[in-house]
Amino acid sequence: MPLPLMKAVGTRQALPIDHPQALVDLEVPVPAVRERDLLFRVEAISVNPADYRVRTQKADDGSSAILGWDVAGTVAAKGSAVPADFQLGDAVYYAGDLTRPGANSEFHVVDARVVGHRPHTLNASQAAAVPLTALTAWEALFDRMGFSRTNPNRLHNLLIVGGAGGVGSMAIQLARLIPGLRVIATASRPASQAWCLHLGAHEVINHFGNMREQLGSLGVPGVDAILLLNDPDQHFAALADMLTPQGTLCCIVPFKQPPDINLLMRKSATWVWEFMFTRPMFGTADLGAQRDILNTVARLIDAGQIQSAATEDLGPICADNLRTAHRLLESHRTIGKLTLSGFAAQA
């Protein structure tokens, strides 16, 4: 018996976002459930730079690829090895696995170990804006850079380069939970600077200006920790110069050209990558850490300590609206997170 079909949005080949075939409406089979999987009815999604990066790298092999790695939904089915803390109808959120089909679809399936119960105080659209950015920011700050929310930290100030984007919005808020840490964000426009201050940054500087001079005017001769969230090719050399001896620099974006990593050598500085999909891609032994992080973030949101970075819902999930979302992201001028909710009727 053939599997039932579902609505989805995907791409068949790498095309500029203004091309009408860059993203298209599809009908595809509902995915099958493995023993550790949960199947979800998708209620809302948000859109990330990962989406357009995967779209622009799509091989022209005749296949269709479904994108999307930020989801709020409800449990529709579960595999035989899924623990009892997930029940049918549970409201959940997650970012998923880059090696499996994305979630721009009516139903979606992922390993239960990367899924959290979503915050009670958020609607589906607001919740969908959280998982990928919260996981990236949390892993960067606490797993990669070694910050602690309870113990003394050897790094006393943090520069977040690209504070107004999705990850930056969450990183500012999580960093403010670290005792004694001075949080400085970068943003280039009045609106994005105001957004960073709203989320809790102590100060904001402009990454298109001389950052060392701007820090100096704040009485900060150097920064102990840097979280680099955009355009590393442009910023790396300047950031390596500003980093204090034995400081830490964490980057989440790939370079287009190899950097001169020797700039960090004399400072005995730590360089570290953060890629949120590492755990699910490689099936690491600590895969369930992502479930634990999402559940902790949900508690922090429900306690009013952090908020969703959702700033605009673009309407139902369909190819037209997703092309709009990709176009806005590729402009590099968005603030917070863009979301879509529910499925549009197809013509």
Q: Which residues contact 20 (CB under 8 A, 6 or more apart)?
A: none
Measuring CA to CA, how many Å separate 239 from each of 8, 127, 156, 330?
42, 33, 16, 24
Has residue 346 got a pLDDT over 60? Answer: no
Read off the pLDDT of each residue in 111-126 and give the average, rounded to a whole number: 98
Measuring CA to CA, how many Å separate 282 from each of 57, 91, 141?
21, 26, 21
Of residues 226, 220, 217, the one with CA closest to residue 171: 226
Angle at 14 (CA atoms; ends 13, 16), nearest 5 degrees: 125
Q: Which residues contact 2 (CB under 8 A, 6 or more apart)?
A: 29
Angle at 153 (CA atoms; ends 228, 148), nearest 5 degrees: 75
Measured CA to CA, the distance from residue 199 to residue 179 in angstroms comes to: 16
Give pLDDT tens digits for 135-183. 999 999 999 999 999 988 999 999 999 999 999 999 999 999 999 999 9
Has residue 344 got a pLDDT over 70? Answer: no
Read off the pLDDT of each residue in 311-337 and give the average, rounded to a whole number: 95
3-class SS of residue 5 = strand
Q: Which residues contact 21 (CB under 8 A, 6 or more apart)?
A: 12, 13, 15
pLDDT for res 59? 87
Measured CA to CA, the distance from residue 61 to residue 13 in angstroms comes to: 8
Measured CA to CA, the distance from residue 115 to residue 289 in angstroms comes to: 10
Phi-psi region of 12 (alpha: psi -120 to 50; beta: other; left: phi over 0): alpha
For the domain covering 5-130+284-341, report its CATH number: 3.90.180.10
pLDDT for res 271? 97
Q: Average pLDDT, whole number, for the chain?
A: 95
For the domain covering 134-273, report its CATH number: 3.40.50.720
25 pairs with which residues across the strands? 9
Has residue 1 got a pLDDT over 90? Answer: no
Q: Which residues contact 54 (CB under 8 A, 6 or more apart)?
A: 65, 67, 98, 102
Has residue 71 got a pLDDT over 90? Answer: yes
Give pLDDT tens digits for 247-306. 999 999 999 999 999 999 999 999 999 999 999 999 999 999 999 999 999 999 999 999
Read off the pLDDT of each residue in 112-129 and give the average, rounded to a whole number: 98
The model's confidence at residue 60, banded by pLDDT at 50, 70 and 90, is: confident
* Residue ranges of the chain that CATH labels 3.90.180.10: 5-130+284-341
Beta strands in 79-222 (DSSP E): 91-94, 107-111, 115-117, 157-161, 182-186, 203-205
pLDDT for res 345? 61
Phi, psi of 187, deg, nearest 5: -160, 150
Q: What percent of the chain has pLDDT over 90?
A: 94
* Residue ranges of the chain that CATH labels 3.40.50.720: 134-273
Instruction: Work out the number of other CB atoms within 10 angstroms of the CB of residue 138.
Output: 23
pLDDT for res 347? 44
3-class SS of residue 92 = strand
